Amino acid sequence: MFKNKLGKVRSGWLILLALVATMIVQSLLMIPGMVIPVMSEVLNNPNGFNVNLEELTDNSPWFILLTQGVGLIGGIVMLFILWRFVNKKRISEMGFKKFSPDFITGLAIGAVSIVVIFLILFFTKNIELTNSLRSPDFSAYTLSYLLFFILVGFSEELTFRGYIMSTLADNGNSKTVVYIVSSLVFGIAHLLNPNVAILGIVNIFLVGLLFAYMYDKTKSLWMPIGYHITWNYFQGNVFGFPVSGTTPYGLYGIDVSVGNDWLTGGSFGLEGGFLATLMIACGFIVTNLYTKKRLA
């Protein structure tokens, strides 16, 4: 039950342990960052205890870093501990090697993908801007969410590609199983996001396959980490679209109510739209061409 034919602990148990352990650590480390702002709201509220976490985020651009950001760092540390002492592997064997230019390439592809979707929606009048392209609204959120999405990129790629794919492969699973299982777990992890949409989860599964492909072709996590960071950041904090259903704090305000939800993704964000599906497909082509040139 617990071991496979190779005498190793089954990859499913190792993955479950990693997901549960990192989730517990993240949850515990979020608590201290919540105490000060929550207590401040309680003390300043004459009507008693009435704290809204969404309002706290709106009122404090650093709240998400003090809570989720710190939790993500703790989760990464726990993942490294499990990889080193349970899987008994070096960190480099997870694909987290010395810095690679693939990171810059990933950043560029992720950013360009979102810019292309924005331009298509803008010129087809499927969205309206609430402020001019010449008047971006820079704020503390611009920096705080950049740091947050950097942590998200590292955390999720180390977990879903680095740990899960490597664990599956190390236990003798086929490449097809490695790709599909890691991407399914990635999609399932987003099921509880606000305003969840079927096409959005399908696209998250597909982008999970793209990240797996990038990881497999480059034998490194740097390219999918880069893509993941700008894919999220340009959606939410440059162009002001929801990111997988979460509230955006962008340089620009976007009204998607004038457009087709199948293109804009509606309240879930660009990942819930068909244009994201097309950009993900293009990502496979670009990655293939890039890696062929890189190895030439």
pLDDT at 5: 66
Tokens describing residue 65:
């870093």
pLDDT tens digits along 156-168: 999 999 999 999 9
β-pairing, 254-255 vs 128-129, is antiparallel
Strands (E), the chain: 128-129, 254-255
Q: What does the domain layout of the chain look like in residue ranges?
A: 92-295
pLDDT at 244: 82
pLDDT at 295: 64
Residues of the chain with pLDDT under 70: 1-7, 37-38, 40-59, 295-296
What are the phi and psi torsion angles at 129 (to 5°)?
-90, 140
Tokens describing residue 42:
């309680």
Could you give the C-alpha distances from 119 to 68, 88, 112, 130, 231, in angstroms and in order?
31, 47, 10, 15, 15
How much is the pTM? 0.92
What are the phi and psi torsion angles at 255 (to 5°)?
-105, 110
pLDDT at 159: 98
